[in-house]
Amino acid sequence: MRLVAERIRYAYRPGTDALRGVSLAVETGDCLFILGANGSGKTTLLDCLSGVRTPRSGRVTVGGIALTQLSARERARRIGVVPQLHEPVFSYTVSQAVLMGRAPHLGPFARPGREDRAAVSRALDMVGVTDLRHRPYTGISGGERQLVLIARGLAQGASCLLMDEPAAHLDPHHQHDVLRVVRQLAAEGFSFAVTSHHPNDALLYADEVVFLSDGASIHRGVPADAIHEGSLREAYGMEFEIVRGEDGPRAVLPLTGRPGARSAVRRGPDRRYGKS
């Protein structure tokens, strides 16, 4: 399902806008990475996309319907959120945690039944964590917990999934385990919006990227086009080198000024685009 933000503004306090007119579109079956420095508004943007926060102006639509026209439950059946890694207080089992995703399908006094348990099994299976279902959710690794939270989003019935820093605190292998599943699900038609601190992850896993800087979307496009020295400098306020392979940029390296750090880098042409 297509998720679109049109010139959304959000302010935590009057006068200081955290988002200053951000526009973006997550196409069906695409994985959009939202890049930007700390404090640039990534998490606020994600909260507005999920409907947890309501933008002061502008609008968010999912499948062509404005979020403000959907009830909380209808919204949750379309959009799922995979929050940042955190230590849960109570040790629910993995299937109990995924079962919570059935909330938008159940009335206030209803308890989950056979249909809901079937949805949980399907979701666990799609993400490949069926083996973990009886384990306590507090006793699995960070990467596994991310996968379980993706499964919760699938159990919700959501076709758009929003992920806040899924790679934070994960080593490259576990990170790959999570983002590989994201790619697979995107290929099956799910849409993803993923925030990240790491432009390299966007080069590896994104269909599209958008840079946020100070609450505004500054560069958008496919990663090979949008990630360049200019956009990186503008987003992070420092210089980067782009490592290029045969088929475009393969990695970005911050220029640290250490001797030898540049020797392996072939400099590409400085491609700079205007604001999108």
Partner 1 sequence: MSEPRRRTVWILVLAPPALFLVALLVGRYGVRPDEAFRALFGLGESSDILRSLILRVRLPRALAAGCIGANLAVCGAAFQGLFRNPLVDPRILGVSSGAAFGAALGLLFSASAAAVQGSAFAFALIAVGLVTVIGWRFGSSTLVIVIGGLLVSALFDSLLGLIKYVADPLSNLPAITYWLLGGLSASRWTVLPPLIVLTGVGIIFFVLFRWRLNLLTLSDAEATALGVRVRPLRLAVIAVGTVMVASSVAIGGMIGWIGLFVPHVARAWVGPDHRVLIPASAAIGAATLLMLDTISRTALPSEIPLGILTGLIGVPAFFLLFLRFLRARGEVR
Q: In terms of CB distance, is 39 or 139 closer to partner 1?
A: 139
Q: In terms of CB distance, is 48 or 242 closer to partner 1?
A: 48
Q: Where are the beta strands (DSSP E) in 2-132?
A: 3-13, 16-26, 31-36, 57-62, 65-66, 79-82
Cβ(66)–Cβ(59) below 8 Å: yes
Q: In terms of CB distance, is 153 or 199 closer to partner 1?
A: 153
For residue 39, the tally of other CB atoms under 10 A from its CB is 12
For residue 150, the tally of other CB atoms under 10 A from its CB is 26
Q: In terms of CB distance, is 44 or 175 closer to partner 1?
A: 44
Q: Rounded to an integer, what distance in angstroms lies between the CA atom of residue 34 and that of residue 19? A: 13
- Tell whether residue 42 is a contact of partner 1 (CB under 8 A): no
Q: Where are the beta strands (DSSP E) in 37-123?
A: 57-62, 65-66, 79-82
CA proximity to 163, closest of 145, 139, 140: 145
Q: Rounded to an integer, what distance in angstroms lies between the CA atom of residue 163 and that of residue 196? A: 9
Total residues at interface with partner 1 (CB under 8 A): 34
Q: What are phi and psi of 123, to 5 degrees?
A: -65, -45
- Tell whether residue 157 is a contact of partner 1 (CB under 8 A): no
Q: x/- site string to partner 1, residues 193 to 212, per CB under 8 A?
A: --------------------
- Tell whether residue 250 is a contact of partner 1 (CB under 8 A): no
- Tell whether residue 118 is a contact of partner 1 (CB under 8 A): no
Q: x/- site string to partner 1, residues 220 to 249, per CB under 8 A?
A: ------------------------------
- Tell whether residue 108 is a contact of partner 1 (CB under 8 A): yes
Among 44, 48, 75, 235, binds partner 1 (CB under 8 A): 75
- Tell whether residue 219 is a contact of partner 1 (CB under 8 A): no
- Tell whether residue 103 is a contact of partner 1 (CB under 8 A): yes
Q: Rounded to an integer, what distance in angstroms lies between the CA atom of residue 191 and that of residue 255? A: 34
Beta bridge mates, 212: 36, 217
- Residues forming contacts to partner 1 in the complex (CB under 8 A) are 47, 50-52, 71-77, 79-81, 83, 86, 88-93, 96, 100-101, 103-104, 106, 108-112, 156
